[in-house]
């Protein structure tokens, strides 16, 4: 018999077990540290969903995570390990911010697109460096994108300290004009904005692009067999470059939404490692686009819930930052939770103890 | 004679194919035992099992009276039992020297260094003993990537002997050799037999098998058929055993039409990773409605020639014209737009994306065009319809276009490639590189007929094949490639002298 | 700030730069050896960053509680081996993508040390204590007469001195020993090694464990030798720099170590430039930009070489 025909629901069960185990580990550590795990969970839930401010904060995180997750999903599909979204986010944020305070006052319907597009363009150019190095020189992308992140952060640092400084006490740029700000959702006092619609649009766009367009067809092929692509006339190098640039542009859009929706200006280190949360969200569901929104919501929940938990119970939120990557590892090696084997094994034990029940299920 | 190897009731299942189905094999000391069968019959798998490379699902292996399959049986154990294997794809580390490759895994160490520091001098001494004994000249200090194929094979043989192999398995050793080199190899094998070594010779070339073996075992479609003594059999009998029925692939070749020149290759130079495969100045023409066959021993530049014409490899000098349009160094897409069809030489490499569906593979080259997509948006329904229509037309089984390409058998997978290349209209030229390599007889016939039909419709065909039968049954004219140059051109009028063709394939021209 | 360029240069390129450069290079060299060993078996290991963080924290912690720097270093190294063992199981048995694995380890390294800092030392940001015993420095008293010589040759920590023989030993083991030949063959052609009777997974496991040990050592050195404190995120990309230097040296320990010196050099020059009003962000960029350029140039030159080799126009 062919063994690799496993039922569709089996991986999902294994992933659920992975979640349960990770949660159990989490609870155990909380208990060891001398806190009440139930209380911590309750505060986490409250911190994420109860009340306008908490729920709004979760949505605020969700927006960023969904956009970056969608962007990451594109490059993950071509086998490009794009850690450079952090840098794209910085560049995109800075260049979305700049037109907002450099240009004279304009109506919203002009200034918002101008800001976002300028950020996306800058981020796309930025991403093209790593993309070109991967496509044409086959330089390992994990290395170049990380290097470029550091360069991008230093570059924005320079810009906000020197030419575009607000000359205030803190290292930041001036505020963008009021009409450039995206309207907030009715969840005040939280900072959640209508950028949620942009996020949903981006997600839908990526979904459509991947499965319903010729470009999606090309980049789905490129990762599996680039030499096949060459032979049938798909320019795999350009497809890789194009996908990376697109992903970078979406990363820049995430930065732009962050500025126009949340902060209003570029503050030094405004988002430490926030792009990585999007990457995590994508990895958590093994790049299954249909599940990405759920995963993004879950990661957003751990972020805001973690803060609530730290505030009310004193359990450091760093703990949840530790548990989430462990969870990803569990999901990535879900074969470790081979419940069927365990089940048969238990069944076998029971049968051997009670030989009266002769013919049970065939224990493999 | 003493029986040193016995394999009984071996079963081996791979994800999509049953590679070995209840086969057996045995070996007496000091014999040359040939294992024959068609491509994909399971001969290599059977021997790789003996060499410990695959775990078996069922069955037993007994080596020198010891049942080795009771525990874990790996390559390491096989070597310890005195088994050595020379694989079809050489298992050599290209970046290392010949010497390092030979000693890899059983290195002599300097005295007093606690088995840490390699003693290269001792290794050299031991190796030169084999070199003298069997007259297998190798250059020990050259890197493997800089030596010829024949030399690589000698390195592989020495590597096996160096590990103390008494049983030597050779997997299709003559496929990469010229007839002269093959004769030389047979002499070496003869000396080895006299020295008491036992040799397993995997092949499907019956002439060679009859020349060298003591006994012959036949495998067909993953099953063991029989074992015969050489003295009691003949080539026709072996052929029948191998294919199971008396098949003679005699295709009704459509006569060539005197059409205009479709492909014009003018004095091209093409680079290659291997010295002997570099193309150095080739010119030829293919006319409408004719098949030009390119014959030659593998690795003499056939792959490079095909890739260069298809735009997949840079042409350093010279020009290629397709129907009067210069396609030199154009992108594969632009070349395809000129009416170029291409059956790549390895379907697992360039031919198919095994992780995608059969429909996506079949239409990959036309996906940009209407009606399969509009403004970059796929028209899934049309794609499925067309894929279903083509699977009927080209008889691809099973018919369901949503199957993954990787789940199909070799022959049907190759038909997907053919359907992609010949299914679309407006094709003027077909480059068919090894179109029937590694597939079953029934599908070979089918694919050859498809190529012949295309020619009859007026397509110009460049057929690159290592299979002389294929070349002779399909081509109207034949050019022979040797070390990147054309050594001769023949018109296939039905009485081509195979001797002459063989001579051209090893570099000897008519004038020599 | 108006200072002449000559003045700035004279302040930067002084004899003490050599010492600074070497000291700044050593953590990168250790991280680089982690990348080198795993690269030799064809694994691109980006987890150095995370393992360094664990090494930093546990180095400081053990040193704080036991007062023994040697024990602290040992614990860090063993911890590095342990983390690598987990990675090896995930990578070799469960076939997890090596980059996903490395990314997760790096995130766990940062978050977990922050968590432990809060739980064990009840502080956040950084941890300094007089009870932390650093790795001792070796001073050469006979050089103390000459400030130049003593600056260049004296005052290195034990680990810094140990690095040179370690790199040479690693080179020797990789290129001259049975172990190294087999290890490299696994990286170059897995199938060939397997058919030669080499246990491929075992070699990969050994390489991963060793690379973890080097990363752990790098961490301990960073927190107990280079400085004497623990700071959140203190590895500051050194793991990645080491990886870049590995690529610079094409996985040869000696060349890679020289690449690390380049990093150390630009790092120390950057630090010295800061006070002179030259926008320091550009100086911070130098090592990263240099790395990217080195990567690009090395690949391009390799391509040119192979193109020339493969050319059909070349006389054989």
pLDDT digits (tens, 9 = 90+) for C172-214: 999 989 999 999 999 999 999 998 888 999 999 999 999 999 9
Does a structural domain hold residue A12?
no
Task: Give yes or no for residue C308 having a pLDDT over 90.
Answer: no
Residue among A67, A265, C178, A347 at smallest CA distance from A362: A347
Kindly determine whether residue B378 and residue A227, on different chains, have CB atoms separated by under 8 Å: no
- Rounded to an integer, the average pLDDT of B45-64 is 90
For chains B and C, CB pairs below 8 A equal 93
Helix spans in C177-252 (H): 178-188, 190-195, 200-221, 238-248
For chain C, strand residue ranges (E) read 126-127, 137-138, 156-157, 230-231
Q: What percent of chain C has pLDDT over 70?
A: 96
Query: Distance between CA atoms of C57 and C115, rounded to whole angstroms?
Result: 11
Interface with chain B: mutation pick from C304, C312, C313, C315, highest number of B CBs within 10 Å? C312
User: Which residues does chain B have within 8 Å of residue C185's beta carbon, measured at their own beta carbons?
Assistant: 93, 96, 100, 104
Length of chain A in residues, anyone?
364
Q: Which of residues 154-213 of A touch B (CB under 8 A)?
A: 212-213
Three-state SS annotation for B407-437: HCCHHHHHHHHHHHHHHCCCCCEEEEECCCC
Does residue B411 or residue B25 have the better pLDDT? B25
Nearest to B336 among A4, A229, A233 (CB): A233
Largest CA distance in chain C: 72
Select the more confidently predicted residue: C218 or C12: C218
Reported as a pLDDT band with limits 50, 70 and 90, residue C144 is: confident
For chain A, the chains sharing at least 3 beta-carbon pairs closer than 8 angstroms are B, C
User: CB–CB of A231 and B353 under 8 A?
Assistant: no
Distance from CA of B376 to the nearest CA of C (A): 32
Check C310 against B278: CB less than 8 A apart. Answer: yes
Q: Do C185 and B96 touch (CB under 8 A)?
A: yes
| Option in B349, B378, B380 nearest A227 (CB) | B349
| Substitution target from A3, A217, A226, A237 for chain B, most B beta carbons within 10 A | A217
Chain A residue with Cα closest to B379: A212
Residue A281 predicted with pLDDT over 70 = yes
Q: What is the pLDDT of residues B8-42, one digit of tens each?
A: 999 988 766 678 888 999 999 999 999 988 766 78
Q: Which domain holds residue C289?
A: 5-136+156-307
What is the CATH code of the structural domain delimited by B3-243? 3.40.50.300
Of B249, B235, B178, nearest to B480 by C-alpha is B178
Please give the pLDDT value at position A3: 40
Q: Does A309 fall in a domain?
A: yes
CB C57 within 8 A of CB C113: yes
Q: Is residue C208 part of a domain?
A: yes
Taking any CB pair shorter than 8 Å as contact, residues of chain B touching chain A are: 13, 15-16, 310, 312, 331-333, 335-336, 342, 344, 349-356, 360, 364-365, 367-368, 373, 376-378, 380, 420
The pLDDT tens digits of the residues spanning C60-109 come to 999 999 999 999 999 999 999 999 999 999 999 888 889 889 999 999 99
pLDDT beyond 90 at B118: no
> Could you say which of A224, A233, A235 has the minimum Cβ distance to residue B356?
A224
pLDDT given at position A241: 95
- Name the C residues in 227-266 with CB < 8 Å from any A CB: 237, 240, 243-244, 247
Shortest CB distance from B53 goes to which of C176, C177, C195?
Answer: C195
Q: Is residue A14 part of a domain?
A: no
Q: Name the residue among C192, C307, C316 with its Cβ closest to that of B93.
A: C192
Query: Is the fold of B3-243 the same as that of B262-505?
Result: yes
Q: What residues are paired with B34 via a beta bridge?
A: B201, B216
Tell me, what's the pLDDT at B102? 92
Chain A nearest C-alpha distance from C217 (Å)? 22
Least-confidence region, from A291-295, B127-131, B144-148, B337-341: B144-148
Percent over 70 (pLDDT), chain A: 94
What is the mean predicted confidence (pLDDT) over A115-131? Answer: 95
In this structure, the strands spanning B429-433 and B340-343 are: parallel
B377 contacts on A by Cβ (under 8 Å)? 212-214
Question: Where does residue B471 fall: left (phi above 0), alpha (psi -120 to 50 degrees), or beta otherwise?
Answer: alpha
Q: How do the domains of chain B map onto residue ranges?
A: 3-243, 262-505
Query: Into how many domains does chain C fold?
Result: 1
Cβ within 8 Å of residue B228, ≥6 positions away: B215, B216, B218, B237, B238, B241
What pLDDT, on a 0 to 100 scale, did the predictor assign at position C30?
94
Is C150 a member of any domain?
no
B-contacting chains (≥3 CB pairs under 8 Å)? A, C
Whether residue A230 and residue B365 make contact (CB cut-off 8 A), yes or no, is no
Do B420 and A230 lie within an 8 Å CB cutoff? no
- Only one residue has tokens 């084997």, namely A341
What is the distance between the terminal CA atoms of chain A, rounded to a whole angstrom? Answer: 12
Flag if B368 and A214 touch (Cβ within 8 Å).
yes
Buried (b) or exposed (e) across A278-288, using 16+ Cβ within 10 A? bbbbbbbbbbe
- DSSP structure string for A300-364: HHHHHHHHHHHHHH---THHHHHHHHHHHHHHHTGGG--HHHHHHHHHHHHHHH-TTS---S---
Give CA–CA dist A185/B299, Å, rounded: 68
Q: Which is higher by pLDDT, A269 or B353?
A: B353
- What radius of gyration, in Å, describes the C-alpha atoms of chain B? 25
Residue A293 in any domain: the answer is: no
A159 shares its domain with A181: yes
Over residues A124-154, the pLDDT tens digits come to 999 999 999 999 988 888 878 888 888 898 8
- C-beta of residue B352 within 8 angstroms of C-beta of residue B361: yes
- Which residues of C are less than 8 Å from A281 in CB distance? none
Contact of C193 with chain B, judged by CB distance below 8 Å, is answered with yes
Which residues span the domain enclosing A250?
A: 54-284
Q: Is residue A2 part of a domain?
A: no
Q: Which pLDDT score is estimated for A357?
A: 40
DSSP 8-state symbol, A170? S
pTM of the model: 0.84
Residues B302-338 have pLDDT tens digits of 889 999 999 999 999 999 999 899 999 999 999 998 9
Is the same domain home to A246 and A311?
A: no
Token readout for B502 is 């063989």
- CATH classification of B262-505, choosing from 3.40.50.300, 3.30.70.20, 3.10.580.10, 3.30.365.10? 3.40.50.300
Q: Please give the pLDDT value at position A358.
A: 39
Closest by CA to C41, choosing from C255, C249, C190, C221, is C190
Residue C238 lies in a domain: yes
Cβ contacts (< 8 Å) between C300 and chain A: which residues? 137
Choice between C84 and B405, residue whose per-residue pLDDT is larger = C84
Q: Residues of chain B with pLDDT > 90: what percent?
A: 30
What is the arithmetic mean of pLDDT over B380-386?
A: 88
Å between B219 CA and nearest CA of chain A: 23
Q: Token pair of A114, please?
A: 């101008």
Provide the domain count of chain A: 2
With a CB-CB cutoff of 8 Å, which residues 121-160 of chain A face chain C?
Answer: 129, 133, 137-140, 142-144, 146-148, 150-151, 154-155, 157-158
Task: Give the pair of three-digit tokens for residue B477.
Answer: 């004219």
Is residue A232 within 8 angstroms of chain B, CB to CB? Answer: yes
A206 with A320, same domain: the answer is no
pLDDT of residue C278: 67
Question: Cβ contact (<8 Å) for C244 and A157?
Answer: no
**Which residues, other chains included, contact B108 with Cβ-Cβ below 8 Å and sequence gap of 6+?**
B118, B119, B122, B123, B126
User: CB B353 to CB A235 under 8 A?
Assistant: no
Average pLDDT over residues C105-131: 91
Selected residue of A29, A148, A159, A316 to mutate for chain C interface (largest C Cβ count, 10 A): A316
Q: What does pLDDT average to over chain B?
A: 86
pLDDT for A294 beyond 50 = yes
pLDDT for B250 equals: 63
Distance from CA of A205 to the nearest CA of C (A): 25
* Chain C residue with Cα closest to A151: C285
Q: Report pLDDT for A7.
A: 64
Q: Contacts of residue C202 in chain B, CB cutoff 8 Å?
A: none
B218 versus C10: which is more confidently predicted?
Answer: B218
Stretch 68-107 of chain C: residues touching chain B, C-beta under 8 Å: none
A93 and A28 in a common domain: no
Do A101 and A215 lie in one domain? The reply is yes
Contacting residues of A for C95, CB less than 8 Å apart: 333
Three-state SS for B218? strand
Residue of C nearest to B49 (CA): C195
Closest-CA distance of chain A to residue C285, Å: 5
- Chain C contact for B135 (CB, 8 A cutoff): no
Range B229-246 average pLDDT: 77
Percent of chain B that is helix, strand, coil (3-state, to 5):
35, 25, 40
- Mean pLDDT for chain A overall: 86
pLDDT bracket for residue B511 (50, 70, 90): very low
CATH number of the domain enclosing C270:
1.10.3470.10
Each residue of A224-255: pLDDT tens digit? Answer: 888 899 888 888 899 999 999 999 999 999 99
CB contact C115 to A (< 8 Å): yes
A31 interfaces chain C, CB cutoff of 8 Å: no
User: Is a pLDDT exceeding 50 seen at residue A364?
Assistant: no
Chain C nearest CA to B115, separation (Å)? 8
- In this structure, the answer to whether residues A99 and A189 fall within a common structural domain is yes
- The phi and psi torsions of C2 (rounded to 5 degrees) equal -105, 100
Mean pLDDT of A186-200: 88
- Any idea which of B78-87, B465-474, C7-16 has the lowest mean pLDDT? C7-16
Q: Which of A231, A236, A239, A242 is most worth mutating to test chain B (most B CB atoms within 10 A of its CB)? A: A231
């Amino acid at each position: 018999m062919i063994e690799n025909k496993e039922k569709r629901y089996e991986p999902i069960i294994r992933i659920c077990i992975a979640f349960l185990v990770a949660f159990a580990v989490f609870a155990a550590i909380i208990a060891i540290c001398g806190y009440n795990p139930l209380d911590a969970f309750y505060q986490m839930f409250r911190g994420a969903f109860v009340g306008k401010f908490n729920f709004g904060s979760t949505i605020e995180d969700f927006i960023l995570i969904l956009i970056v997750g969608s962007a990451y999903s594109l490059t993950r599909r071509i086998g490009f390990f794009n850690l450079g979204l952090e840098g794209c986010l910085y560049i995109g944020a800075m260049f979305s911010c700049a037109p907002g305070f450099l240009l004279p006052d304009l109506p919203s319907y002009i200034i918002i697109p101008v800001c976002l597009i300028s950020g996306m363009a800058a981020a796309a150019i930025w991403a093209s460096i790593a993309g070109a190095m991967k496509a044409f020189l086959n330089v390992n992308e994990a290395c170049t994108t990380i290097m470029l992140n550091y360069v991008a952060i230093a570059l924005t640092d320079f810009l906000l300290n020197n030419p575009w400084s607000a000359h205030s006490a803190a290292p930041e740029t001036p505020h963008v004009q009021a009409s450039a700000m995206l309207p907030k959702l009715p969840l005040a006092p939280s900072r959640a904005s209508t950028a949620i619609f942009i996020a949903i649009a981006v997600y839908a766009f990526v979904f459509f692009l991947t499965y319903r367009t010729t470009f999606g067809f090309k980049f789905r092929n490129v990762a599996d067999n680039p030499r096949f692509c060459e032979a049938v006339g798909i320019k795999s190098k350009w497809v890789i470059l194009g996908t990376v640039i697109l992903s970078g542009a979406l990363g820049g859009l995430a930065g732009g939404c962050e500025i126009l929706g949340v902060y209003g200006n570029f503050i030094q280190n405004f988002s430490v490692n926030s792009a990585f949360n999007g990457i995590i969200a994508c990895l958590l569901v093994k790049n299954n686009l249909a599940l990405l929104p759920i995963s993004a919501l879950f990661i957003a929940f751990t972020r805001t819930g973690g803060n609530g938990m730290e505030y009310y119970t004193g359990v450091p939120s760093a703990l949840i930052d530790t548990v989430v990557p462990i969870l990803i590892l569990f999901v990535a090696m879900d074969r470790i939770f081979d419940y069927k084997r365990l089940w048969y094994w238990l069944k076998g034990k029971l049968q051997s103890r009670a030989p009266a029940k002769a013919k049970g299920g065939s224990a493999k | 004679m003493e029986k040193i190897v016995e394999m009984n009731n071996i079963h081996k299942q791979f994800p999509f194919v049953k590679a070995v189905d209840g086969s057996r094999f045995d070996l007496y000391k000091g014999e040359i035992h040939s294992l024959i069968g068609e491509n994909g019959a399971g001969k290599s798998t059977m021997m790789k099992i003996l060499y410990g490379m695959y775990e078996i699902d069922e069955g037993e292996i007994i080596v020198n009276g010891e049942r080795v399959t009771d525990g874990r049986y790996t390559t390491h154990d096989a070597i310890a039992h005195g088994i050595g294997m020379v694989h079809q794809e050489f298992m050599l580390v290209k970046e290392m020297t010949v010497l390092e490759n030979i000693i890899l895994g059983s290195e002599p160490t300097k005295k007093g260094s606690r088995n840490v520091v390699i003693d290269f001098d001792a290794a050299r001494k031991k190796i030169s003993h084999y070199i003298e004994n069997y007259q297998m000249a190798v250059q020990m200090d050259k890197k493997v990537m800089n030596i010829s194929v024949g030399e690589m094979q000698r390195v592989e043989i020495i590597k096996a002997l160096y590990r103390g192999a008494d049983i030597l398995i050779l997997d299709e050793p003559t496929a990469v050799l010229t007839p002269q080199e093959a004769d030389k190899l047979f002499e070496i094998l003869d000396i080895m037999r006299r020295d008491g070594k036992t040799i397993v010779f995997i092949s499907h070339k019956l002439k060679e098998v009859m020349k060298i073996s003591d006994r012959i075992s036949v495998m067909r479609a993953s099953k063991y058929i029989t074992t015969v003594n050489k003295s009691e059999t003949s080539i026709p009998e072996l052929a029948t055993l191998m294919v199971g029925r008396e098949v003679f692939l005699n295709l009704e070749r459509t006569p060539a039409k005197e059409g205009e020149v479709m492909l014009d290759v003018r004095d091209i130079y093409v680079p290659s990773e291997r010295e002997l495969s570099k193309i150095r100045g080739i010119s030829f023409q293919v006319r409408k409605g004719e098949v030009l066959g390119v014959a030659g021993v593998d690795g003499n530049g056939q792959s490079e020639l095909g890739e260069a014409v298809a735009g997949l490899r840079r042409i350093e000098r010279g020009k290629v014209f397709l129907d009067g349009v210069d396609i030199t160094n154009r992108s594969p897409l632009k070349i395809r737009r000129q009416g170029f069809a291409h059956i790549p030489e390895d379907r697992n490499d360039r031919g198919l994306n095994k992780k995608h569906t059969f429909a996506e593979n079949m239409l990959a080259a036309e996906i940009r065009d209407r009606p399969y997509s509009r403004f970059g948006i796929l028209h899934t329904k049309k794609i499925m319809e067309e894929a279903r229509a083509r699977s009927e037309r080209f008889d691809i089984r099973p018919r369901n276009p949503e199957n993954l390409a990787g789940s199909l058998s070799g022959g049907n997978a190759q038909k997907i490639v053919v359907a992609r290349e010949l299914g679309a209209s407006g094709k003027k030229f077909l480059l068919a590189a090894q179109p029937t390599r590694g597939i079953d007889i029934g599908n070979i016939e089918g694919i050859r007929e498809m190529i012949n039909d295309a020619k009859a419709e007026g397509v110009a065909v460049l057929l690159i094949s290592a299979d002389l039968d294929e070349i002779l049954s399909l081509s109207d004219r034949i050019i022979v490639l040797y070390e990147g140059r054309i050594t001769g051109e023949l018109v296939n009028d039905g009485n081509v002298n195979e001797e002459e063709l063989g001579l051209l394939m090893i570099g000897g021209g008519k004038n020599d | 700030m108006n200072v002449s360029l000559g003045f700035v240069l004279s302040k930067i390129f002084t004899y003490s730069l050599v010492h600074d450069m070497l000291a700044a290079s050593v953590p990168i060299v250790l991280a680089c050896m982690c990348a080198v060993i795993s690269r030799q078996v064809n694994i691109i290991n980006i987890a150095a960053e995370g393992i360094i963080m664990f090494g930093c924290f546990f180095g400081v912690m053990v040193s704080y509680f036991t007062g023994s720097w040697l024990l602290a270093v040992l614990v860090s190294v063993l911890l590095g081996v342990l983390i690598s063992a987990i990675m090896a199981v995930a990578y070799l048995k469960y076939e997890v993508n090596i980059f996903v694995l490395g990314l997760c380890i790096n995130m766990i390294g940062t978050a977990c040390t922050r968590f432990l800092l809060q739980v064990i030392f009840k502080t956040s940001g950084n941890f300094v204590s007089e009870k932390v015993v650093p790795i001792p420095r070796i001073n050469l008293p006979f050089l103390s007469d000459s400030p130049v010589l003593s600056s260049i040759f004296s005052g290195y920590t034990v680990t810094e001195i140990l690095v040179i023989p370690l790199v040479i030993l690693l080179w020797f083991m990789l290129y001259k020993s049975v172990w190294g030949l087999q290890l490299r063959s696994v990286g170059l052609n897995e199938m060939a090694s397997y058919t030669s009777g080499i246990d491929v997974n075992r070699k990969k496991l050994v390489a991963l464990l060793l690379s973890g040990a080097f990363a752990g050592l790098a961490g301990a050195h960073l927190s107990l030798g280079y400085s004497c404190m623990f700071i959140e995120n203190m590895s500051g990309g050194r793991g990645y720099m080491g990886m870049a230097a590995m690529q610079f040296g094409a996985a040869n320990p000696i060349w890679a170590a020289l690449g690390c010196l380049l990093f150390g050099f630009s790092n120390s020059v950057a630090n010295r430039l800061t006070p002179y009003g030259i926008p320091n962000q550009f100086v911070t960029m130098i090592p990263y930009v240099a790395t990217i350029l080195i990567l690009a140039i090395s690949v391009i030159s390799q391509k040119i070489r192979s193109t020339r080799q493969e050319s059909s126009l070349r006389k054989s």
